[in-house]
A and B are shown apart, each in its own frame.
Chain A
């Protein structure tokens, strides 16, 4: 009986022969594959065609025009400045914090670590909003404090500036550098340092010649990912940059489509430019840096030396606490404060507290209520579909021998590298002409969310299935179970926790998604992010804060759930997750 002997066969030979058995398995898998191609491949194709002027015309003049106009050029320069600024900022903040929590005996290490994760989970446009309240010129709380303390006439700090945009985005994306550096530091076995010590190296010499080169690839990799992520964050760029008259590529794309008549070719060309920047950055990070990484991911039995800081631990702790205060505590705090205040510009007092804004946000304001319901619906549906497709792709990859499954895998991961704005443009171009009318409905948003977040579900499903030995299903098949039965009774129950995590990993970003939604929504299909964005435009800042607090509570609760389910903390960040 070949099955019994299968235990000794190489893994390849144990996979189900797929070519012949086409029945139910083929249909399910094929359906998933088709959806994937439809939702990801097809819009990307249209992006290229759109840039070439299709269908109105065909040629490179649009691309040319797009790149020579001064507005677009200025947007490009600003975007590159932003990437550079956030990348550098992420190193200055992320590396010391990572070193403090990974290698020293500084107190409150766990707290700092958790707060860095918190600053990353919080939707970046909410951080941007919070900083309008904190560092808005003249009226911002921090400015008021400084005025009071130092007697300035007007607020010394103005968030509506390029440094302001870099700051607000930087305190969000520095998490990449932090987590990658933290992992790298934790995987440098102590013996590598001890052997240097035995040869006569002092502490600083070991740090310089051994530790630094070993973690440098992780540090630069993290900074690169931070920079790449900052390119795509439409929310903060619009909320802080636009009032400051600073344009970025995503906001330019938004403007070219939002004005009438919409300039598709220019939008596509700009989108492609954004894609090129993103992909180039990712290629450098994966191809060059990751290959030079000496980090043994999950290295077994790695022992790290904890450095005794003595009195130095207090200044270091102060620095760490200041960083997480600005990146997580202050934004959430001020939003909560505003949500409960009658008027955010009035001073803090008990008489100023009210629940009316929550009432308005959750029950009364048409747009807000619609937004909440739509977000819940969309996030649930998107997460479900993404998990199904992701599981199918992962199954194909790990349990079958279907040719071309590697390509499918790449296709499923590809959207991770695409900014939400770009995906939205592609989807608009692709689906606006379909005989099926999905523009202007929730369906087009659903398509965008699924396309954007499939990589998260695929990676998670892949990791889950990988941990389940194929022999468990094989044992079921031998005793007579059909393919579907084996899946249902063996694979599914075992992978349930992992797939639940995959579901949540898609739900959370889908719930607060902004940069793709802003291009695809219309009256009636607003989401919670749109409601926040629109109400902010109308100056209803207290209601905005209430909505923001609601969003944060939902996101945090679900993130805690993920943490608990997966039994590990959010330290394994390898590629840019999708935000904004």
Chain B
């Protein structure tokens, strides 16, 4: 038996080693610390990079296509909700088996947590000049790449003549509302923002209409396009924008009383085994060209030198309701409990 067990471990070790010994397994070299140090040849030699993102796949595909065309480096990405992305990065770090080179999440709290765990790599990028100070980490471990506003999207066939103009209006549409959140509570931050600024009673009013809950903003848009529901609250502005642009019978509005805004951010991972390719991609992602592709997909860029999406109100003209991410992170469980008791269902708490 003793013999057998040893041979078993040997077998498993052999198998594990095969996957372990990939290119650069030992080479956790520091890599470039700033944009000027990126070696494009080395990046091309690294051949590919792995991105974990919660950005809409259509936009990611567009960004990747251009990047691969220009540099010939393949981008393999995993797309999940903000919580999915975070938990995968953290679990892999715990297990000593990090996979991603760069991470992007629609919820800043995720990046803050990763920074706290020491997973992010400080990087000095020229993009930092184009992004407001509050929207980036002074140590350069993370930087905001987009701002997502949570709008009211509605079906024009149902509400075209009397479109809802503010959150409270929706309280009258009993049984006709829809909203989204993953089972891990990805929809909670913006709900909390709304509650924090405009009062918890507003949420109770919305909950009383028995809204349909779906997993993702994409499904929410489909529900509204089909007319299965009439209006949705806290939809991603870029999804609503795209839906209207494609000629679907939907429209959207930024309520004047205030629109929750979510800060999405990205950063490089210290454990990356492909530091040059990752940094190159990071520069692309945050650069004017990459951000322009982002804007073409309907997102608002964090760069001040990039115009807002076509036909959209510039951010300066909107009343943005912001979230204190540090506070959210600290009280997350309590907040999720409140969501669960208000709306019911699974919030990952």
Contacts and interface: CB of A to CB of B under 8 A. Distances in A.
Given A522-B88, A524-B76, A539-B222, A251 B346 contact: yes
Interface in B66-113: 76-80, 83-84, 86-88, 90-92, 94-97, 99-100, 110, 113
A243 B4 contact: no
A27 interface: yes
Nearest to A441: B19
B87 A31 contact: no
Contacts of B84: 258
Interface string B1-31: 1011101100111011001100000000000
Interface stretch (A259-267, A268-276, A280-288, A560-568): A259-267
A325 interface: no
Nearest to A257: B87
A259 B343 contact: no
Interface string A419-461: 0000000000000110011111101000000000000000000
Interface in A30-61: 30-31, 33-35, 38
Given A27-B4, A438-B16, A439-B92, A243 B213 contact: yes
B47 to A, nearest CB: 15
Interface in B95-142: 95-97, 99-100, 110, 113
Contacts of A252: 346
Contacts of A443: 15-16, 19
Given A254-B183, A443-B19, A523-B100, A537 B215 contact: yes
A440 B344 contact: no
B95 A440 contact: yes
A538 interface: yes
A523 B76 contact: yes
B346 A523 contact: no
B348 A258 contact: yes
Which of under 10, 10 to 19, 20 to 34, or 35 or more describes the interface residues of A? 35 or more
Nearest to A540: B218
A64 interface: no
B226 interface: yes
A432 B94 CA distance: 8
A329 interface: no
A259 to B, nearest CB: 4
Contacts of B165: none
B3 A523 contact: no
Interface in A142-197: 160
A137 interface: yes
A537 B216 CA distance: 6
A255 B226 contact: no
B3 A439 contact: no
B184 interface: yes
A538 B216 contact: yes
Contact of A538 (B99, B184, B218, B349): B218
Given A258-B87, A440-B99, A523-B88, A251 B183 contact: yes
A247 B340 CA distance: 11
A137 B228 contact: yes
Nearest to B344: A245
A345 B227 CA distance: 11
Given A247-B346, A437-B96, A345 B226 contact: yes
Nearest to A428: B91
A438 B214 CA distance: 33
Given A26-B4, A245-B345, A539 B218 contact: yes
B16 to A, nearest CB: 4
Given A523-B50, A523-B78, A34 B1 contact: yes
B90 A261 contact: yes
Contacts of B212: 160, 243
B185 interface: yes
A243 B214 contact: yes
B345 A242 contact: yes
B4 A30 contact: yes
Contacts of B91: 262, 432, 439-440
Contacts of B256: none
Interface centre among A251, A252, A255, A260 (most CB of B within 10 A): A260
Contacts of A279: none
A258 B222 CA distance: 26
Given A432-B94, A537-B216, A537-B219, A259 B184 contact: yes
B8 A259 contact: no
A486 interface: no
A242 B221 CA distance: 18
B57 interface: yes
B10 to A, nearest CB: 10
A138 interface: yes
A437 to B, nearest CB: 4
Contacts of A436: 12-13, 16
A352 B78 CA distance: 32
Given A30-B3, A243-B213, A260-B83, 14 more contacts: A31-B11, A34-B4, A34-B8, A71-B340, A245-B346, A260-B86, A262-B90, A436-B12, A437-B16, A438-B97, A439-B95, A439-B97, A443-B15, A523-B77
5 contacts: A137-B228, A537-B216, A538-B219, A539-B216, A539-B221
